[in-house]
Amino acid sequence: MIPLLVTKVSSSRNTLGRIAAIAAAGSCFWYAGSKLDSGSSVVLSIPAALSEPLFLPWQTAHGFTIHPSGAFDHQKLGLSFCSSRVSPAPPSGVEKEKPGDTQKPCPRCLDRDTIANAAADVGPAVVNISVSHGIYGIATAKSMGSGTIIDKDGTILTCAHVVTDFHGPRAASKGKVEVTLQDGRTFEGTVMNADFHSDIAIVKINSKSPLPMAKLGSSSKLRPGDWVVAIGCPLSLQNTVTAGIVSCVDRKSSDLGLGGMRREYLQTDCAINVGNSGGPLVNVDGEVIGVNIMKVDDAVGLSFAVPIDSVSKITEQFKKRGRVIRPWLGLKMIDLNEMIIEQLKERDTSFPDVTKGVLVAMVTPGSPASRAGFRPGDVVIEFDKQPVGSIQEIIEIMGDRVGVPLKAVVKRSLNSTITLTVLPEESNPDM
């Protein structure tokens, strides 16, 4: 119910009487001063369905001014309170609901069971991962994380930092971990693969009885504002569910001050804490669309997950090669848009006439790009015969092709066009 403030009310008893009668009939609240003298004001809280038909004609005929007033304290205003509840008549042309009729929920609407249903779909497949730490075979401490069973054969998706030891830039597998299911069953898990740069790992358990499995969705369909659910074991509290929205669908690692190779994350405002790492980020359809990986300390509502589309590519490489291969060109690039292009043209009139592309900001000496003839200031408009407008598109076109010649069409100052052939190398994992 939206309270509305009505001013300039006539002191005529007839006018006030009509207002009171309509207020009572409209199932609203009437706040009035103790004395109905000249200059009195009346505040009516009118249901939204009745506010237009009741007040808009009056505004013209009687000079009333209506202002949304929001929440207010009638006691502070020295106003008395009275209320009348009368069921409003249904709008014309709308049939009354018959006893036993049930209204079907909107297929894409969020109702009271949406979050609970999504959590129930994925929850049984969420596991707690415990890793022992010690020296000379003597356990001195345990670290906890989360994971998701993504295959009935016992394949578990989690974070690399949950199941690996980091020594500088390299990660060494711990080998064996303890996995506890939501139903209480405990298994010894084996770390099969771990990728340091993406912080994604695969753990395998063996079970004679059936295992629950989560369904994977698509992160490419997400939009800022979409509802999501985070499930995991924060602070060793198993089976914890939190909910929030997607804040950003392509938060870049450089935005977070993370060096090394370019990575993109889903940013959400779900509550994430120590122990949530490796747990699933789920959409309202009960599909895993990300792997929770980190949060910002001393900040509220800043959590990050690896998009499931990126995770799927990593797991495919795990199956194919046992590791992730990333091609390297030796270019530092910037995505171009209309505003950036316009600004660059203002600074340098010789800047090429393009509507989109990727600007080469720096070329690493001795790199594949340097040998191919790339220069700072080049604008890549085609890569492997496909038009490109972003760095991500170039990365996707390269895929895992190492040692395969790829042609790039670039534009240079004064609109000169040149085709370069570059031979990607495998990136150094210590970079």
Q: What are the distances in angstroms from CA 138 to CA 132, 133, 142, 180, 247?
A: 9, 8, 12, 21, 43
Q: Are 336 and 347 in contact (CB under 8 A)?
A: no
Q: Which helix (H) or strand (E) holds 29?
A: strand 29-32
Characterise 83 by phi-psi region: left (phi > 0), alpha (psi -120 to 50), beta (else).
Answer: beta
Q: Is 72 helix (H, G, I), strand (E, B) or coil?
A: coil
Distance of alpha carbon 150 from alpha carbon 181, whole angstroms: 13
Q: What are phi and psi of 342, to 5 degrees?
A: -60, -40
- Cβ-based neighbour number of residue 351 at 10 Å: 21
Q: Is 161 a catalytic residue?
A: yes
Q: Are 314 and 414 in contact (CB under 8 A)?
A: no
Token output for 40: 């009195």
Q: Is 277 a catalytic residue?
A: yes
Distance of alpha carbon 361 from alpha carbon 96, whole angstroms: 67
Q: Are 11 and 46 in contact (CB under 8 A)?
A: no
CB-count burial class (<10 Å; 0-12, 13-18, 19+) for 96: exposed
Q: Which of 146, 199, 219, 247 is catalytic?
A: 199
- Cβ-based neighbour number of residue 397 at 10 Å: 15
Q: Is 16 helix (H, G, I), strand (E, B) or coil?
A: helix
Q: Which of 146, 277, 303, 427 is catalytic?
A: 277
Q: Which of 121, 130, 143, 161 is catalytic?
A: 161
Catalytic residues: 161, 199, 277
